Amino acid sequence: MEKIKFITLEQLLEMRVNNEKFKLIEALPEDAFKQGHIPGAVNMPLEKIADLAREHLKKTDTVITYCASYACSASTKAAKALLDLGYKNTLDFKGGKKLWVLGGLELEK
């Protein structure tokens, strides 16, 4: 069983600044995504993650999941589901949208 790896806001920002290739996945329902999401993210609600992953991701992609905040478990469940499906380079940005905004960063609508 693959272990879930968490990344910090600083690590996520570092990856962006260095133009590292990764797929950013919001694991919340579509209405939450439409209210605001981290720029560049794709919406893959938890209950649809297996089908959407097959459609939009390659097994070799670096994938970062996130949800609302540390209190939300959707990103961790999504990361576990992706790891179980064979997406070995999956990380969980546990702080999610709340930490992004607390860091003074804008959400995209």
Task: Give the Å distances, CA to CA, from 104 to 47, 50, 72.
Answer: 30, 32, 20
pLDDT digits (tens, 9 = 90+) for 32-46: 999 999 999 999 999
What class has domain 5-102?
A: alpha beta
pLDDT at 2: 82
Taking residues 90-105, what's their average pLDDT? 98
Percent of the chain with pLDDT over 90: 98
pTM, entire model: 0.96
pLDDT digits (tens, 9 = 90+) for 49-84: 999 999 999 999 999 999 999 999 999 999 999 999
Position 6 pLDDT exceeds 80: yes
Position 1 pLDDT exceeds 90: no
pLDDT at 92: 98
Which sequence spans correspond to the domains of the chain?
5-102
In a 3-state reduction of DSSP, which class is residue 24? strand
For the chain, what is the mean pLDDT? Answer: 97
Q: Are 9 and 93 in contact (CB under 8 A)?
A: yes
